A and B are shown apart, each in its own frame.
Chain A
Amino acid sequence: LNHIVHNGGLYKRPFNEAFEETPMLVAVLTYVGYGVLTLFGYLRDFMRQWKIEKCQNATEREEQKDFVPLYQDFENFYNRNLYMRIRDSWNRPICSVPGAKVDMMERVSHDYNWTFTYTGRVIKGIINMGSYNYLGFAQKTGACQEAAAKVLSQYGAGVCSTRQEMGNLDKHEELEKLVARFLGVESAMAYGMGFATNSMNIPALVGKGCLILSDELNHASLVLGARLSGATIRIFKHNNMQSLEKLLKDAIVHGQPRTRRPWKKILILVEGIYSMEGSIVRLPEVIALKKKYKSYLYLDEAHSIGALGPSGRGVVEYFGLNPEDVDVMMGTFTKSFGAAGGYIGGKKELIDYLRTYSHSAAYATSMSPPVVEQIITSVKCIMGEDGTTVGEARVQQLAENTRYFRRRLKEMGFIIYGNEDSPVVPLMLYMPAKIGAFGREMLKRNIGVVVVGFPATPIIESRARFCLSAAHTKEMLDTALKEINEVGDLLQLKYSRRRLVPLLDRPFDETTYEETED
C-alpha cells in the first residue's frame, strides 16, 4: 500500500508503515483484566501484611518498617502481583547456541513462579523466534567459529586492560578499519558493550548548553546517555517529522530557556529500527531537517545494521542516502554479527576525539579477541570479501523471510505493528492473561517466543515480538506460522479489522496528531 508523499520525493522506495489502532472493546477488556488483577493484588498485599500468607518477596527489615517505604510504588506492586504470575515466560535458560533452533532446560514451579526447579530434562529443537540473530551468524560451526577458535588459541580470551592503556590490540585496529570501510565512513571505533557505547559516548559529545532532541521510543541506553550528559532533552513524537520540525524551529527561534542564547549544539537521537514497534526511522526527512536547521544526527543502528539494505549496510543504504550525511553512526555487533559490542563511525576528527575523551575508551576493558575475530569474519562474509556469496545470500534470505512472515501473519488477521521491511515483528496481545498464555502455549508447541509487557511497552499494548533470521528455513517459518495460527484461534488474538489506513502526511497541529483516520 503506497502512500502519497508530500515531501518533495525524498523517498526512492515506498515506505509502508502501519500501526493499527487498538479496537475499543479490546482496550476496555484489557482494562477490566488489569482491574481484576489489581484488586487481587491489593487483597494479597493485605494478606501478606497481616501475616495470613507467607511473604516471599523482598520487604524491609522489622527495624526499618517506620522508615520511608521502599516497595510501595506502582512498579513494585506490579512486580509482586502481576509479573510474578507470568514470570515463567522470561529468563528461560537455554543450553545451546541460539541459532534457528535452540535447546532449553525444562523448569517447573510448585509455588506459582516464586521459585523454579529444573526437572533435568532438556527440550531440544525449539524453533527460536526470539533471538536477535538476523543474519544467522550465531553458529557453532563454520568459518566464523573456526577463525574465532584460532584467535582464541593465539591471544587468549582476556585483554586485561582498557583501550587507552595496554588493551589496544592489532585486532582492534583491523576491526575498526574494516568497520569504517563497511559503513562507508572515514573512521570507526569499537567498544566492548553496545549499551555502554551509547551511554558512555553521548556524554562525551554533548554537555550543558546543548540540546538533545530524542525520539519518544528511544532505547534505555540512549536515554541514559542523554541524561548523563547534562544537556537539555526534548522529546518528539515517535517518527513524527512535523513534531521534530516544530521542536527544531522553537529551538532555533527561542534559544536556551532563560538566557535566550543560541544552543551550542543540537543533536537529534534516532534509531534505525525501533525494536518494540518494528518501525523504521524516516531517515531522508530527518537528514533534510538536519541540514535545514544545521543540527547533528546520531543514528543508532543496533537492529538495522546487517538487517536492512540490499547489501546489509543498514538503514542508510536502505534509503539510498550518503553515509556522510549522518554525523555519528552508531551500531552494535550483537544482533546481526553474532558477537558482542558496539561501534561508532563518523569523521576522523570525531573518532579521534572519542578515542581520547570517551568514558568507555578510558575505563572499560576492550573487546575480547575471539569476539573481534568473529566480527571481522562475519563482516567480511557480508561484504563478500571471503570469496563466497554466503553473505549476500543471507541478506536476501532475511528480506524474503521478513516479507513472507509479515504477509502471512497479516493475512491471518493479527495486528502487526511496524514497517513492511523490518525483521522485527510485534504481534499485539493486549490482555495480561494472554501474555502468559501465549508464551506457555507456544512453548508447548516447541516454539520459543519473546513476550513483552508493561514497563517495556505501554500498559495496554503488550505484544509478542518475533525476530526473524536468515537461518530460518521456509519449513521452519511454515511450522511456526501454523502454530501461531492455532494459538491465535485458541486465544482469540485475531483482532485486526483489516482496515488498512494509509499514513497521511498531514500538517501537524496541536489537536490531532493521530496518524490514523476513521
Chain B
Amino acid sequence: MDVKGTPRYLYWLFCQFELITCSYLMEPWEKVLFYSFNLALLGLLLYTAYVCLVLHASSAFQLLCGSPGAPRENSLSGVK
C-alpha cells in the first residue's frame, strides 16, 4: 500500500510546512497572502526551470550528438 502518498501523510507534511514557516500562527488573511506569494514564486521558478533547462538541454543535445550525417561547415572539412 502506498503509504507515502496517502492524503493523511500529505496533510501531515503540510502541517510540518506550516510549523516551520510559522504560517500556523498567522491569521487567515495572512496565510492567504503568504501562500499566494509562495505559489507565485514556485510557479516562476518552475517556469524558469522549464524554459531555461529545456533550451540548454536541447542545445547540449545538438552539440554532442546532433545530425551525424550532416556536412560539417568548418575548416576541417577539407581534410579526409
Contacts and interface: CB of A to CB of B under 8 A. Distances in A.
Interface in A430-465: 431-434, 436-437
B24 A437 contact: yes
B26 interface: yes
B34 interface: yes
B21 interface: yes
Contacts of B21: 32-33, 36, 433
B3 interface: no
A29 B18 CA distance: 12
A436 B15 CA distance: 14
Interface in A17-43: 29, 32-34, 36-37, 40
Interface string B1-29: 00000000000100110111111111100
Nearest to A435: B25
Contacts of A432: 22, 25
B25 A86 contact: yes
A112 B29 CA distance: 13
Interface majority SS on A: helix, strand, loop or mixed? helix
A492 B25 CA distance: 17
Contacts of A491: 19
Contacts of B23: 36, 433
Contacts of B22: 33-34, 36-37, 431-433
A177 interface: no
A344 B26 CA distance: 48
Contacts of A29: 20
A40 B19 contact: no
Kindly state the interface size class of chain B when it binds its partner: 10 to 19
Contact of B19 (A34, A37, A85, A437): A437
Given A36-B34, A40-B30, A85 B16 contact: no
Contacts of A436: 24-25
Contacts of A490: 12, 15
B3 to A, nearest CB: 15
A32 B20 contact: yes
Interface residues of A, number: 19
A117 B12 CA distance: 31
Interface string A91-126: 000000000000000000000100000000000000
A85, A431, A433, A437 — most chain B CB neighbours (10 Å)? A433
A112 B28 CA distance: 11
B35 to A, nearest CB: 12
A112 B19 CA distance: 17
Nearest to A432: B22
Contacts of B16: 492
Interface in B24-79: 24-27, 30, 34
Contacts of A431: 19-20, 22
Given A37-B25, A40-B26, A433 B19 contact: yes
B10 to A, nearest CB: 15
A106 B24 CA distance: 22
Nearest to B26: A40
A389 to B, nearest CB: 48
A87 to B, nearest CB: 11
A42 to B, nearest CB: 12
Contacts of B27: 112
A272 B26 CA distance: 40
Give the most central of A40, A85, A434, A490: most B CB within 10 Å: A40
Contacts of A433: 18-25
A86 B26 CA distance: 10
A34 B12 CA distance: 22
Nearest to B16: A492
Contacts of B19: 431, 433-434, 437, 491-492
Nearest to B20: A29
A41 to B, nearest CB: 11
**B18, B19, B20, B22 pick with most chain A CB within 10 angstroms:** B22
Contacts of B20: 29, 32-33, 431, 433
B23 to A, nearest CB: 8
Interface string A480-500: 000000000011100000000
Nearest to A37: B22
Contacts of A37: 22, 25
Nearest to A39: B34
A40 B32 CA distance: 12
A490 B12 CA distance: 8
Interface in A325-339: none
Nearest to B27: A112
A421 to B, nearest CB: 33
Contacts of B25: 37, 85-86, 432-433, 436
B41 to A, nearest CB: 13
16 contacts: A29-B20, A32-B20, A33-B20, A36-B23, A37-B22, A37-B25, A40-B26, A85-B25, A85-B26, A112-B27, A432-B22, A433-B23, A434-B19, A436-B25, A437-B19, A492-B19
Given A432-B25, A433-B19, A436-B25, 10 more contacts: A32-B21, A33-B22, A34-B22, A37-B22, A40-B26, A431-B19, A433-B24, A433-B25, A490-B15, A492-B16
- Nearest 10 Cβ contacts at the A-B interface: A85-B25, A33-B22, A433-B22, A433-B24, A433-B19, A37-B22, A29-B20, A36-B22, A36-B21, A433-B25
